[in-house]
Every structure is written in C-alpha cells, then in structure tokens.
C-alpha cells in the first residue's frame, strides 16, 4: 500500500514539475476540458403531483376574474390603497357577477376620483363606484364596458371552514399583478376593527402571503371557491408576516347585494352610546354599559337608562340579546346586524341587582 502511494505521489510531482517548466519556457500545454462545450440535455420530468395540478387548476380558472384596481385623484395621477415606487398605487378586486360588478375593499377606493381596473388579459376598463360599506370594508364597482367579461368566481361558504385547511390568495402585491400565494387557515372568528368605527365579526386569519396591494382580492379554498376577501395584515414592517385577514364570504354575500341595490347598507342600532371595554374592565362588568340614549331613540322609548352624571351611578348594562350573552359592544352590534334594521329584539338588561327583558326596535342609525 505504501509503495503504491509513493508511486502516485511521484507521478503527481513529476506532472507538477512539467507544468511549471512549461510555463517558465513558454511551452504550450494541452488541457483536456472537464465538460463538453455543448448545452446539456434536458432531463424529462415525471408527471406533476396531484397537489401541484390542483393548485395550477385553481389559478388558471380563477386568475382571469381577478383585476388590479387603481383610483385617480387630484393629488396624484394614481392613488389607490398603497403607494408604490414611481408614484403608482393599486389594490385588487374580482368579478362578482355577469352584470359587470366587481368587489374590492372600501379602503382601496376611499380616496375617490376616477377608478380603473386592469384584467389579466391586459385590458384596462373604467369603472363606476356603485356603493361602499365602510363598516365591512367592502365596495362594489361596475365596469362601464369590456369586450368579454371573465366568469364570476364560484362562491363557497365561510360557516364550515376548519383551521388547518388550505387557503389560496390571488392579487397584486406591490403592484405585481396576478400573484398567487398559498397557506392554511390559521384561525377563525377573529374580530377586525374597520375605518367605520365598528368591528367585522368572524374574520378569517390566514398565513397565505398577503402584502400591500392584495387588499380586495379573493381568498379561495382548495376547490377554487371564494371564502373571503383579503383586507388587512399585521406586520411591524408593513410586509407579510404570516398574519393576514379576510372578510368572510358569508358576510360578503349578505352585504354586496345590498350595495348593488341601494349603494349602501343600513347600520343597525338602537340609539345608545356605550362605554368602552376599558371602563367595563375597570368596573369588573360583563356586558355593555349604556352611557346615554339618543333622544327619541328605540332604546329611550324602551326605558333603557344611561349613566347618572349627577351621581356617577351606572345605569343599565345590556347582558344578552335573544338569550345569547353579550360581553362587549362587538357582541351587541353583531347581533343587531344579524337581525337587521326594522326588526325587534329582546334585550336582557341589568340595573343594579335587578335584571329584566325589554323589546327594542332596530333602526338604521345613519338615517334616524
């Protein structure tokens, strides 16, 4: 073994001396190339995985119905949801029906002005703002004219979603159109404050990458059905941090037809001003503390009493609606929205040590 090693070492040393001598004497040395100069042959891959096929199918079916949304204003030639490099800005929307209605977030088009959309085909169309619902961060647009409208996205349901099931988002992050990301449903029944000063209930949380520009786009299940409208992220940096939110499709399917019919949705209420949750926490109160009632409101007519400002004594505390517990204001507003303006609900009200039920009419507080 040692003799064989010695012979190999001697041969290598001789080669090294020869190369060095050739360099000194400028004697050309021929090198054998390590690889052929021609391009390498392409290896044939096997069939796509079933999961890959399903994801590709979702994108190919749904992406034509997803649009980029841009709103013009006097302040900037392109003002939409998020400013991008070079002065551009955009959000996302999608085809709702065959009448040319599109759905997006209210905050994408809240600046007003002219609005245009770009389809996956590259075609640009002007749209009109049909209606907005700030309390749900939803808006409906209508296309003025387009040669051929893509098919509406199939509707799913958000009532039977499970944490852990797949979720897919298609949108225009940072103005990059037709981007698809995937993840799972991370949580359900989140509550999301809106620009309207209320909360959206039963919001979907997902870790599918959602970035500025995705707002207003569709969140899809593994069948390619719409299960939500992406609307917000939590991120210290402003970019995706794995926590995104979507308005559940069951809410969307209730609000959008109302916007198409009337351009707005009622804001159901009973005419009270409620104390903040911090006050309830300090007082160790579970329920909604009524600060005051609006003059002539359904709450006043039902005998509901607010805080006595002379003595500072707490008045009525709403603890249930139709027998369902109310622990904070969002529980009450959610119950009133589910019932709708024009209906009557039974409230359980606590005053001191006494508890009673009262029937209160729900009105559209924006028009009362």
- Rounded-to-integer distance, Cα 326 and Cα 332, Å: 6
Q: CB–CB of 200/265 below 8 Å?
A: no
C-alpha pair distances (Å), 13 with each of 6, 9, 17, 59: 11, 6, 6, 62
Q: Mind giving me the DSSP string for 269-297?
A: E-SEEEPPHHHHHHTT--SEEEEEE-TT-
- Vertex 269, ends 264 and 202: CA angle to 5°? 75
Exactly one of 101, 137, 166, 280 is catalytic; name it: 137
Whole-angstrom Cα distance, residue 311 to residue 39? 90
Q: Which of 158, 186, 215, 297 is catalytic?
A: 215
Has 215 been annotated as catalytic? yes
- Burial tier of 20 (Cβ tally within 10 Å: 0-12, 13-18, 19+): exposed
Nearest to 180 by CA among 146, 136, 224, 137: 224
Strands 288-293 and 316-321: antiparallel
Selection from 110, 115, 113, 117 nearest residue 75 by Cα: 113
C-alpha span between 53 and 44 (Å, rounded): 18
**One of 63, 90, 107, 182 is an active-site residue; which one?**
107
Three-point CA angle 238, 241, 243, nearest 5°? 105
How far is 333 from 8, CA to CA, in rounded Å? 87
Distance CA 207, CA 244 (A): 6
Token pair belonging to 254: 């209730």
Q: Is 368 a catalytic residue?
A: no
Contact 255, 185 (CB under 8 A): no
Enzyme catalytic residues: 107, 137, 215
């Amino acid at each position: 073994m040692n003799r064989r090693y010695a012979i190999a070492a001697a041969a290598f040393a001789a080669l090294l001396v020869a190369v060095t001598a050739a360099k000194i004497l400028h004697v050309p040395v021929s090198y054998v190339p390590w690889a052929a100069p021609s391009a390498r042959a392409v290896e044939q891959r096997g069939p796509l995985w079933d999961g890959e096929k399903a994801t590709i199918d979702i994108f190919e079916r749904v992406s034509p119905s997803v649009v980029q949304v841009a709103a013009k204003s006097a302040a900037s030639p392109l003002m939409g949801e998020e400013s991008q490099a070079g002065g551009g800005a955009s959000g996302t929307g999608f085809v709702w029906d065959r009448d040319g209605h599109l759905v997006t977030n209210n905050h994408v088009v809240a600046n007003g002005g002219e609005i245009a959309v770009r389809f996956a085909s590259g075609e640009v169309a002007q749209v009109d703002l049909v209606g907005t619902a700030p309390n749900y961060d939803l808006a409906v647009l209508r296309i003025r004219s387009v040669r051929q409208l893509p098919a509406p996205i199939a509707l799913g349901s958000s009532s039977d979603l499970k944490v852990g099931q797949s979720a897919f988002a298609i949108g225009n992050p940072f103005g990059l159109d037709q981007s698809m990301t995937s993840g799972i449903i991370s949580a359900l029944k989140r509550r999301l404050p809106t620009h309207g000063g209320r909360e959206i209930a039963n919001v979907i949380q997902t870790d599918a990458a959602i970035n500025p520009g995705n707002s207003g786009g569709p969140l899809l299940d593994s069948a390619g059905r719409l299960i939500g409208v992406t609307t917000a992220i939590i991120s210290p940096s402003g970019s995706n941090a794995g926590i995104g939110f979507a308005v559940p499709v069951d809410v969307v399917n209730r609000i959008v037809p109302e916007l198409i019919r009337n351009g707005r949705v009622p804001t159901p209420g009973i005419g009270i001003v409620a104390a903040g949750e911090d006050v309830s926490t300090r007082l160790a109160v579970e329920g909604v503390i009524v600060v005051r009632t609006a003059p002539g409101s359904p709450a006043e007519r039902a005998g509901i009493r607010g805080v006595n400002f002379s003595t500072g004594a707490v008045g009525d505390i709403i603890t249930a609606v139709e027998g369902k517990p109310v622990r904070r204001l969002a529980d009450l507003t959610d119950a009133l929205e589910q019932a709708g303006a024009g209906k009557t609900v039974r409230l359980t009200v606590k005053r001191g040590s006494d508890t009673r039920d009262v029937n209160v009419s729900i009105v559209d507080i924006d028009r009362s």
